[in-house]
């Protein structure tokens, strides 16, 4: 089902294979111009949601020369999607199945996908299992090998225990945690980030995801290297591929990027200046770079 929203998108709900109610934002261009172009589907990071993509989605949907339909998804347990009673289902294999269900629900036979962090890991699995759904892929600060040190940073700030009392404090906490790696952000940018990460409950900002997702990182053995997805990355090598890497990221190493380029020589690499993990896609020259990539797609 769908509800119109004044923000430039439809709110849509659909069911996963196991019956969970999941949410998406559907940005549809006006007029028939976009009908011949493939849609863009956006997959957020570990604890993020569809709001991360709102500025970029509006820009792509309203592009004067090549407008495209954009669908931004909330993974299970995040944003407006239902929380899962079985916390073991918060894994990329189950969530890849949710993406496949979304495509079926929205009549998408083929699309261009943007995957931020965990969303990009999910795209590795989809490339290996349902390559027919993919036409081109943009990976945002993620690859088939990730750094344990970067995961440790994510674990620590997600489980820091500090809860903001108001929206000003929410922005301050984000700046304290990420200011050193996101030097491109200033002032109001941190409040905008807070509005994307938190939900307003009784006037107080509350993290907009199931706490079990962050809690699961506590049990990870960081003395062992994280599992790698190079075999699945080989499946991505058949598609046009763009990698956006934060200049200050700790999650994906330069060595991993070099190996990705070696295995996919036509990979387009874009550095997100003044940003860490994961880059905000509406900043700097990133939208123009994405637009140029999309212009080469169907």
pLDDT in the model for residue 236: 96
pLDDT in the model for residue 2: 41
Tokens linked to 136 = 């081109």
Three-state SS annotation for 169-233: HHHHHHHHHHCCCCCCCCCHHHHHHHHHHEEEECCEEEECECHHHHHHHHHCCCCCCCCCCHHHH
Cross-strand pairs, 116 = 140
Give the pLDDT of the chain (298 residues) as one tens digit per residue: 344 455 799 999 999 999 999 999 999 998 787 788 999 999 999 999 999 999 999 999 999 999 999 999 999 999 999 999 999 999 999 999 999 999 999 999 999 999 999 999 999 999 999 999 999 999 999 999 999 999 999 998 888 878 899 999 999 999 999 999 999 999 899 999 999 999 999 989 999 999 999 999 888 888 888 899 999 999 999 999 999 999 999 999 999 999 999 999 999 999 999 999 999 999 999 999 999 999 999 8
Closest of 95, 150, 85 to residue 119, by C-alpha:
95
Using CA atoms, how far apart are residues 140 and 173, in angstroms rounded to an integer? 23
Mapped onto helix, strand or coil, the DSSP state of residue 201 is strand
Tokens linked to 225 = 């290297």
Residues 6+ apart with CB under 8 A from 75: 22, 43, 44, 49, 81, 95, 98, 118, 119
Diameter over CA atoms, the chain: 54
pLDDT in the model for residue 193: 95
Flag whether the pTM goes above 0.85.
yes
pLDDT in the model for residue 291: 97
pLDDT in the model for residue 7: 79
């Amino acid at each position: 089902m769908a509800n119109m929203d004044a923000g430039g998108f439809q709110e849509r709900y659909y069911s996963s294979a196991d019956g969970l109610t999941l949410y998406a934002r559907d940005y549809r261009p006006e007029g028939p111009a976009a009908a011949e172009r493939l849609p863009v589907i956006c997959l957020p990071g570990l604890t993020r949601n569809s709001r991360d993509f709102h500025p970029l989605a509006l820009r792509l949907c309203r592009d004067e020369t090549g407008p495209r339909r954009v669908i931004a998804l909330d993974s299970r347990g995040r944003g407006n999607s239902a929380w899962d009673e079985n916390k073991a289902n918060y894994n990329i294999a189950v969530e890849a199945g949710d993406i496949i269900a979304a495509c079926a629900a929205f009549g998408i036979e083929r699309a261009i996908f943007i995957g931020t962090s965990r969303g990009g890991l999910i795209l590795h699995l989809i490339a290996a299992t349902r390559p027919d759904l993919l036409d081109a892929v943009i990976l945002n600060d993620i690859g088939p090998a990730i750094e344990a040190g970067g995961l440790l940073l994510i674990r620590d700030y997600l489980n820091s225990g500090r809860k903001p009392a108001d929206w000003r404090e929410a922005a301050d906490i984000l700046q304290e945690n990420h200011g050193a790696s996101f030097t491109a952000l200033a002032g109001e940018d941190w409040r905008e980030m807070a509005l994307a990460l938190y939900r307003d409950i009784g006037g107080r900002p509350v993290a907009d995801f199931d706490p079990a997702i962050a809690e699961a990182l506590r049990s990870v053995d960081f003395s062992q290297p994280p599992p790698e997805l190079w075999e699945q990355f080989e499946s991505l090598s058949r598609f046009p591929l763009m990698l956006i890497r934060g200049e200050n990221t700790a999650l994906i190493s330069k060595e991993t990027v070099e190996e990705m380029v070696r295995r996919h020589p036509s990979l387009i690499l874009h550095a997100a200046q003044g940003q860490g993990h994961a880059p905000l896609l509406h900043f700097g020259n990133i939208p123009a770079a994405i637009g140029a990539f999309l212009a080469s797609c169907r």
